[in-house]
Amino acid sequence: MMPCREFVETITTEPVGALSWSRRLALGSHRLICHRCRAFEANNRALDNLLQVHRQRLEEPAPPADEPLKTRVNRP
């Protein structure tokens, strides 16, 4: 059986689609047996989703500043 450390390293560093079928089978087998690695994988997915949302927000342009703000910023 694949050790937990190898499972974690694999799911965090390699895209699953790029793995060989035997490697994917080993991941799936480990996932079935190890509840801690299942929980880690679920948390890792949730974190990836949160980071993606924040990354998208950072890429959005800032809303235009209102006039009072512009005058306060431009004040000497």
Tens of pLDDT, residues 27-66: 999 999 999 999 999 999 999 999 999 998 888 887 776 7
Is the pTM here over 0.85, yes or no? Answer: no
11: nearest Cα among 38, 35, 34: 38
What is the mean predicted confidence (pLDDT) over 11-25? Answer: 92
pLDDT (0 to 100) of residue 71:
72
Per-residue pLDDT band at 76 (split at 50, 70, 90): low
pLDDT band for position 70 (50/70/90)? low
